[in-house]
């Protein structure tokens, strides 16, 4: 696709739209990508990144990561750091699936042990971890108890026997964003979410059995620190978020912000999808507290899914999960806004960092990551398509400019509708099984939407993040089994 004539190449991985590109831009917009990726970027990315650069209080640059593509308000892959004293908070900069995120789990099994039982494993996971639109989990909660989950996150799961103490240490923010307040959440949101703990959902969400083959290890020392110690070791990666709960919270507050943005606060934006309110305003603080509820629900959702995965492996291999080495590598969030301290023009400042389809990527020695990873940097998980594989990376010290943010996935190259026109789900399943990947799906149409050709080259995305100094490649993980939402 044609890139804007105003786009300037700053370096091999940085491309910039100046503030003169669009009226109202307060900072330049920067796209992190190599030559291949920038030339394939859809036009919406450039327009949306420029619109984000108009947000009141934005600092330094509006960013988009190498996996960037058109989204709601922000491009997916969009990053904006806002001065909390003078700036805004925008649901479009966080997304509808609040805390959509990735979790990577180890085993001490190798591919040769798992292959003979792969169909059994995937079938059992498909049964124990409900997938698809409207799926309900096995954890039965009242509305009041669900509100406690939303305020406690993964700590609620540990208290009720759905996790190990180290799981919290290995989850971003310990599996709980402090300050969540369920009284700021609508009854409609609670109704949509209270029975969805322990479910994958739909779209690009998945639960995947993967193999770390020797030829796909880029950094053996860091891989060992992260727990990958055996040739052809089997790991489990899954991707899901806050389901209907987060979607409703985003919907509720977008409507509320649209009602007050201009009339009460005098803010106008190029795109109504960037509806916002001053962060320190009553509306901004209410949304921040409600958003944290969705973040915590998503952490709890992934924690319960992990509990079910451990059950399945234990049942099939007749060994305790601990004996199977089923500890976590890490859990990273994507769609969030967080108050963090960053170095800006030589001064340390508190900023509200919006990450929409983008991953926090703290480097070695930074506070906020587990002690065991202080020398390597934070584990980063970049999910690829179900046909191609995913990446485990580590945060780099050079991530200062992007507020220590990196890519979150491979990024779509075409619409779901277009993908469904190009392949049938049943045929795709057969083709994948012939290539050694056994997949179960809640919907044939949903499977077709997620075909590998609908996504960017995951290798190119991972290489670009490394070249840009945002995160370095540790291991490429090959899929052999998949439960698809």
Q: Looking at per-residue confidence, does 42 or 420 come out higher?
A: 42
Q: Within a domain: residue 333?
A: yes
Phi and psi (nearest 5°) for 374?
A: -65, -30
Whether residues 190 and 90 share a domain: the answer is: no
Which pLDDT belongs to residue 386? 82
CATH of the domain at 235: 3.90.1860.10
Q: What is the pLDDT of residue 46?
A: 98
The pLDDT of 412-439, averaged and rounded, is: 84
Please identify, among 63, 95, 127, the residue that sits at the C-terminal boundary of a domain: 95
> Is 217 strand, coil or helix?
strand
Provide φ and ψ at 420, rounded to 5°: -65, -25
Is 335 in contact with 356 (CB distance < 8 Å)? yes
The answer to whether residue 265 is domain-embedded is: no
139 shares a domain with 61: no
What does the block give as tokens for 135?
Answer: 């799926």
Do 331 and 242 share a structural domain?
Answer: yes
Domain assignment of residue 330, yes or no: yes
pLDDT, position 373: 98
My answer on whether 79 and 126 are in the same domain is no
Q: Coil, helix or strand for 74?
A: coil
What DSSP character marks residue 322?
Answer: T
- Whether 81 has a pLDDT exceeding 60, the answer reads yes
The span from the CA of 109 to the CA of 378, in Å, is: 24
CB 406 within 8 A of CB 357: no
Answer yes or no: is 3 within a domain: no
Does the pLDDT value for residue 1 go beyond 60? no
pLDDT, position 131: 85
Average pLDDT over residues 39-59: 96
Q: Average pLDDT of the chain?
A: 95
Asked whether the beta carbons of 465 and 408 are under 8 A apart, the reply is no
Q: Which of the residues are catalytic?
A: 408
The predicted model gives 82-94 an average pLDDT of 98
Indicate the pLDDT class of residue 442, thresholds 50, 70 and 90. confident
- Least-confidence region, from 71-85, 100-114, 446-460: 446-460
Mean pLDDT over 398-409 rounds to: 94
In-domain check, residue 264: no
Whether 29 and 144 map to the same domain: the answer is: no
Q: Is residue 467 part of a domain?
A: yes
- When pLDDT is averaged across residues 419-428 and rounded to a whole number, the result is 84
107 and 87 co-located in one domain: no
What's the domain range around 217? Answer: 101-257+270-484
Same domain, 229 and 167: yes
Q: Is the separation of the CB atoms in 52 and 74 below 8 Å? A: yes
- Contact status, residue 480 vs residue 210, Cβ threshold 8 Å: yes
8 A C-beta contact, residue 469 and residue 463 = no
pLDDT digits (tens, 9 = 90+) for 308-352: 999 999 999 999 999 999 999 999 999 999 999 999 999 999 999
For 215-266, the pLDDT digits (tens) are 999 999 999 999 999 999 999 999 999 999 999 999 999 999 999 999 999 9
At residue 268, φ and ψ (nearest 5 deg) are -125, 145
Q: Which of 30, 65, 95 is the last residue of a domain?
A: 95
Contact 269, 123 (CB under 8 A): no
Taking residues 281-300, what's their average pLDDT? 98
Q: How far apart are CA 90 and CA 456, in angstroms?
A: 27
Cα separation, 306 vs 484, whole angstroms: 16
Q: Which of 37, 71, 95 is the last residue of a domain?
A: 95
Q: Which of 150-164, 284-298, 367-381, 447-461 has the lowest mean pLDDT?
A: 447-461
- For residues 89 and 281, give the distance between their C-alpha atoms in angstroms, rounded to a whole number: 10
Contacts of 386 (CB under 8 A, 6+ apart): 206, 208, 432, 437, 439, 450, 452, 479, 482, 484
- Contact by Cβ (8 Å): 131, 442: yes
Do 285 and 239 reside in the same domain of the chain?
yes
The stretch 433-453 carries a mean pLDDT of 85
Mean pLDDT of 174-188: 98
347/446 same-domain check: yes
Please tell me the total count of domains within the chain.
2
Model confidence over 116-136: pLDDT tens digits?
A: 999 999 999 999 998 877 778
Determine the Cα–Cα distance for residues 160 and 369; give it in Å rounded to an integer: 25
Cβ–Cβ < 8 Å for 314, 322: no
Nearest of 391, 412, 418, 394 to residue 404 by alpha carbon: 394
User: Are both 26 and 126 inside the same structural domain?
Assistant: no
Query: How much is the pLDDT for 6?
Result: 97
Q: State how far the Cα of 55 lies from the Cα of 352, in Å rounded to an integer.
A: 12
Q: What is the chain's alpha carbon radius of gyration, rounded to the nearest angstrom?
A: 21
Same domain, 37 and 125: no
Q: Which of 88-92, 184-188, 348-352, 432-436 has the lowest mean pLDDT?
A: 432-436
**pLDDT score at 79:** 98
- Which stretches of 357-443 are assigned E, i.e. beta strand? 359-360, 379-382, 390-395, 405-406, 438-441
Counted residue by residue, the chain has a size of: 485
CA dist 230 → 211, 365, 394, 397 (Å): 10, 27, 19, 28
Whether residues 80 and 188 share a domain: the answer is no
- The whole-angstrom separation of Cα 169 and Cα 442 is 32
Q: What angle do CA 73, 74, 77 make, to 5 degrees?
A: 150
pLDDT given for residue 108 in this prediction: 98
Percent of the chain with pLDDT over 70: 99
Two tokens, residue 483:
């439960």
């Amino acid at each position: 696709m044609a890139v804007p004539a105003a786009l300037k190449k700053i370096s091999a991985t940085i491309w910039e739209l100046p503030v003169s590109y669009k009226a109202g831009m307060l900072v330049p917009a920067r796209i992190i990508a190599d030559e291949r990726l920038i030339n394939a970027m859809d036009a919406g990315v450039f327009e949306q990144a420029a619109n984000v650069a108009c947000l009141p209080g934005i600092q330094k640059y509006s960013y988009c990561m190498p996996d960037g593509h058109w989204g709601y308000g922000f491009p997916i892959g969009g990053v904006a750091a806002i001065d909390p004293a003078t700036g805004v908070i925008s649901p479009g900069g966080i997304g509808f699936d609040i805390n959509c995120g990735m979790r990577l789990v180890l085993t001490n099994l190798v591919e040769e042990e798992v292959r003979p039982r792969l169909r059994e494993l995937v079938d059992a996971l498909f049964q124990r971890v409900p997938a698809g639109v409207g799926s309900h989990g096995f954890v039965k909660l009242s509305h009041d108890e669900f509100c406690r989950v939303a305020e406690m996150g993964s700590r609620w799961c540990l208290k009720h026997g759905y996790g190990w103490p180290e799981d919290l240490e290995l989850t971003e923010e310990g599996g709980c964003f402090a300050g969540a307040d369920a009284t700021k959440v609508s009854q409609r949101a609670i109704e949509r979410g209270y029975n969805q703990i322990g479910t994958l959902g739909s779209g690009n969400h998945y639960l995947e059995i993967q193999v770390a083959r020797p030829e796909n290890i880029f950094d053996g020392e860091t891989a060992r620190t992260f727990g990958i110690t055996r040739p052809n070791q089997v790991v489990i990666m899954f991707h899901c978020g806050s389901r209907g709960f987060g979607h409703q919270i985003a919907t509720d507050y977008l409507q509320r912000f649209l009602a007050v943005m201009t009339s009460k606060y005098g803010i106008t934006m190029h795109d109504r999808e960037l509806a916002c309110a001053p962060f320190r305003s009553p509306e901004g603080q209410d949304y921040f507290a409600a958003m944290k509820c969705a973040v915590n629900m998503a952490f709890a959702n992934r924690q319960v899914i992990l509990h079910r995965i451990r059950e399945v492996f234990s049942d099939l291999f007749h060994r305790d999960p601990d004996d199977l080495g089923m500890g976590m590598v890490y859990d990273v969030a994507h769609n969030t806004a967080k108050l963090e301290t960053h170095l800006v023009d030589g001064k340390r400042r508190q900023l509200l960092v919006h990450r929409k389809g983008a991953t926090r990527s703290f480097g070695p020695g930074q506070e906020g990551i587990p002690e065991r990873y202080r020398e390597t940097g934070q584990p980063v998980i970049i999910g690829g398509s179900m046909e191609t594989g995913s990446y485990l990376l580590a945060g780099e010290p050079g991530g200062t400019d992007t507020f220590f943010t990196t890519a979150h996935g491979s990024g779509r190259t075409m619409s779901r509708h277009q993908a469904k026109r190009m392949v049938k789900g049943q045929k795709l399943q057969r083709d994948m099984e012939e290539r050694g990947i056994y997949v179960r799906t809640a919907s044939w149409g949903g499977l077709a939407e997620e075909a590998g050709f609908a996504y960017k080259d995951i290798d190119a995305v991972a290489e670009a993040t490394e070249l840009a100094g945002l995160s370095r490649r540790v291991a490429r993980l090959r899929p052999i089994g998949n439960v698809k939402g």
